[in-house]
Amino acid sequence: MFIGALPLLGRLTLYLAAGVAAGVANGLAGGGTFITFPALLSQGIVALQANISTTVGVVPSYLGSIRVFRHQLAPHRQLIRSLAPSCVLGAVTGCALLLNGSASTFRSVVPWLIGAGTILFAATPLITRALSRVEHTHPARRGALYLGIFAVSVYGGHFGAGLGILLLAVMGLALPLEIHALQGLRNTLSVIINLSAAIVFLIHGHLALQAVSMLLVGTLIGGWLGALLILRLSPTLVRVLVIVIGAATTVKLALG
């Protein structure tokens, strides 16, 4: 696709389609940024503007999912409230790093982060079994949960591709929950992280408004569809799907 080759209607259609596809990806396990970010770049939007526009545009993808997972989330409202400050503080820190620093060093370690997160998530059953003697309410385990969520939120505010994989990895190790509950929590925390970053970027300005407006619509639809699909899959298949998406994300990042 040639940069800037599409007329207005074509660009809007591209952004809408990318938003729907990204919403479905985020509803399943994450990775929607790899659809929206290149779509914006292809139309001549510079990298930083494409990055912050994508962060704002994908927020609705998680809102649709939260609605679908509302029953799984009901018993964990207090946990969500307790993790929210770590998400907000981490996301704002990540935004500050993006807007005020060089991204080259940070981006170079991103494939390693996603790859490690995918491996941790895949190994969660084995690690959980090994840690079975340590109560989930143990201060060290709880501390690791909050620290891990903060670190992942910093990443989410800075770039965010593969955010869902990292959240699932941290929570899978720290919380004794089945995969659908973890997916619901993952979507909820992703909303908090992306919304916090979006507020910072809205204040900062420099958004690609045409792209953002279409992404907001497309990702809302796609996120709802992706979450509906997840609930119809077996927990084992969902786990395999997350691992496959995580591996694909790692390879995509490593190749540039």
For residues 212-218, give the mean pLDDT: 95
Mean pLDDT confidence for 131-136: 55
DSSP 102-145: -SHHHHHHHHHHHHHHHHHHHTHHHHHHHTTTS-TT-HHHHHHH
Q: Residue 168 has which token pair?
A: 């699932």
Q: Look at residue 200 in the predicted model and tell me its pLDDT.
A: 94
Backbone phi, then psi, for 135, in 5-degree steps? Answer: -60, 145
More confident residue, 20 or 126: 20
Instruction: Indicate the burial class of 108 (C-beta count within 10 angstroms; 0-12, 13-18, 19 or more).
Output: exposed
Q: Is the pTM of this model over 0.85?
A: no
Output Rg (C-alpha) for the chain, integer angstroms.
Answer: 17
pLDDT, one tens digit per residue, over 149-201 is: 999 999 889 877 778 888 888 888 788 888 888 888 998 999 999 999 999 99
Q: In the prediction, which pLDDT does 1 show?
A: 44
Query: pLDDT class for 2, splitting at 50, 70, 90?
Result: very low
pLDDT confidence band for 241 (50 / 70 / 90): confident
pLDDT in tens, 180-190: 888 889 989 99
Dihedral sign, CA of 42, 44, 46, 50? negative
Report whether pLDDT(230) > 60.
Answer: yes
Longest dimension (CA), the chain: 61
98-120 confidence digits (pLDDT tens): 888 765 655 666 677 667 767 86
Residue 162, φ and ψ in degrees, nearest 5: 85, 10
CB half-sphere exposure, 92, CA atoms < 13 A? 10
Q: What residue ranges do the domains of the chain occupy? A: 8-254
Taking Cα atoms as reference points, which of 207, 196, 205, 212 lies closest to residue 95? 196
Q: Are 82 and 75 in contact (CB under 8 A)?
A: no
- 134 pLDDT above the threshold of 70: no
Cα 35 to Cα 14: distance, rounded to the nearest angstrom: 11
Residue 83 tokens read as 């993790």
Q: What is the mean pLDDT of residues 75-88?
A: 95
Average pLDDT in the chain: 82
Contact present, 186 and 171 (Cβ < 8 Å):
yes
